Amino acid sequence: MKEILWSKNFILVCFSNFLMAFAFYLIGTTMPFYIAETFGVSDSVTGLVLASYIFATLLIRPFSGYIVDGFSRIKVYLLAYLFFIVVYFGYMVASSLLLFVFARMFHGLTWGVITTSSSTVAIDVIPSSRRGEGIGFFGLTSTLAMSVGPFVGLYLYDHFPFEYNFYSTIIFGCIGFAFAFFIKLPDRKPIIRPSLSFDRFLLKPAIPVGFNLLFIGIGYGALFTYAAKFGKQIGVENTGLFFLFTALGMTVTRLFAGRLLDKGYMQQLMIGALIIISSGFILFGFATEIVLFLISAFIIGFGFGMATPTFQTIFVNMAKNDQRGTANSTFFTFYDLGIGIGMILSGFIGNHFPNNFGVIFISSGVIAVVSILYYLLITKNIYEKRKVIEN
């Protein structure tokens, strides 16, 4: 008999995660405009300010896996969620660039814990026989938020004072916290706090795989920082449409990718996803009008919609049951590191090519090509040797 995926708890997990991510990404894409207008800094400084949350996230990521595995996962999730909401008030009262960076870094600390704990909570309520499909749908809540959030954020930015972006993130965050409060996890064995060791902070067998994930994270960091600015540069009036088409591409993959993953087509999905991502970035870099702008958005979303849950499944399948938090924190550590590098790198490229931001995305496409070769030569073999059957 097929196990039930869409239980009450899984639905609550999905809604709470979507609203958390929606709040985060609603304001994220408009941050470059806000920083430049409020503090009058260059693109390269803006990239560093935006990436400061990534540095803080990377500091907490390894510890977040240990915390999630060693303490009550749902309590850790709720506490992190609460601090995640509070940090938006810090942005609102930051009167200097330094204070803004402090708020940004505190945001990174909460983000590092909340994303690790939410993913681990989701895996706890997903039947093991439907893990690939479940992770795919759970991941869809984040990827939809990455796309719909910026669309709403850019609309608010264009039509209202920026304070409305902050108010919106707080409201949606509070609603998400309410959903999270009612999640009930299955009983776990009595928690035996693991001793401190390196493999409780990073999943050692999966570290080489992490570098593969980092390569595509660089491209996403560039998108997050410069997609809207690039759209305005080539004359696209509603740049938020890019993120909607990205979401559409991600949504389409959920119709088939998760089931194929559970049926054993991991390698085919991963190789196909990396080829599609690299192609999408290169096409995006050459866009000069709205049609190619939106087509490439769909292609990039399609590729990420396949790649992200597949990568996460690889990490989880390389961990024992009591290392799921560590597996997720390792996954996010490398993804965040790639995004942070992408934010900084795109800022410097943007400074050198201020009249053609397309160079940023062509460069991202070339890096994604490297990720294909890396997967074929390294990741594929490591996964087959190190995957854990008990999961």
Write out pLDDT tens, residues 122-158: 888 888 778 777 877 887 788 778 778 888 888 888 8
Q: What is the mean pLDDT of residues 36-56?
A: 78
> What's the confidence (pLDDT) of residue 293?
93
> What's the confidence (pLDDT) of residue 246?
87
Q: In which band, very low, low, confident or very high, does the pLDDT at 1 lie, cut at 50, 70 and 90? A: low
Q: What is the mean pLDDT of residues 328-351?
A: 84
Q: In which band, very low, low, confident or very high, does the pLDDT at 201 lie, cut at 50, 70 and 90? A: low
Q: In which band, very low, low, confident or very high, does the pLDDT at 192 lie, cut at 50, 70 and 90? A: low
| 196, 26 contact by CB (below 8 A) | no
> What's the confidence (pLDDT) of residue 374?
94
Quick one: CA torsion of 262, 263, 267, 270, rounded to 10 degrees?
-50
Write out pLDDT tens, residues 356-379: 889 999 999 999 999 999 999 999
Residues 6+ apart with CB under 8 A from 262: 129, 130, 131, 132, 133
* Its pTM surpasses 0.95: no
Residues 6+ apart with CB under 8 A from 291: none
> What's the confidence (pLDDT) of residue 344?
82
> What's the confidence (pLDDT) of residue 187?
62
Tokens of 42: 């260059």
At CA 264, angle to CA 364 and CA 333, rounded to 5? 40
Write out pLDDT tens, residues 224-271: 778 888 888 888 877 778 888 988 898 888 778 778 887 888 889 999
Q: Kindly tell me if the per-residue pLDDT of 389 is higher than 60.
A: no
> What's the confidence (pLDDT) of residue 191?
53
Across all residues in the chain, what is the average pLDDT? 85
Q: In which band, very low, low, confident or very high, does the pLDDT at 194 lie, cut at 50, 70 and 90? A: low
Name all contacts of 154-160 with Cβ < 8 Å and 24+ positions apart.
154/29, 154/30, 154/228, 154/238, 154/239, 154/240, 155/240, 156/26, 156/30, 157/30, 157/33
| C-alpha 306, offset from chain centre | 13
> What's the confidence (pLDDT) of residue 195?
57
| 84, 64 contact by CB (below 8 A) | no
Name the amino acid, one letter, at 204: K
Q: Kindly tell me if the per-residue pLDDT of 391 is higher than 60.
A: no
Write out pLDDT tens, residues 61-97: 778 877 887 788 889 999 999 999 998 888 888 878 8
Q: What is the mean pLDDT of residues 349-360?
A: 84
Q: In which band, very low, low, confident or very high, does the pLDDT at 274 lie, cut at 50, 70 and 90? A: very high
Task: Answer positive or negative: Cα dihedral of 138, 143, 145, 146.
Answer: positive
| 149, 30 contact by CB (below 8 A) | no
How many CB atoms sit inside 10 A of residue 161's CB? 10
The percentage of residues in the chain with a pLDDT greater than 90, rounded to a whole number, is 29
Q: What is the mean pLDDT of residues 22-46?
A: 81
DSSP run (H or E) holding 334: helix 324-352
Q: What is the mean pLDDT of residues 267-290?
A: 93
Task: Catalogue all structural domains in the chain, each as residue range(s) with its CATH number.
Answer: 8-187+202-386 (1.20.1250.20)
Top pLDDT among 327 and 188 is at 327
Tokens of 376: 């074929």
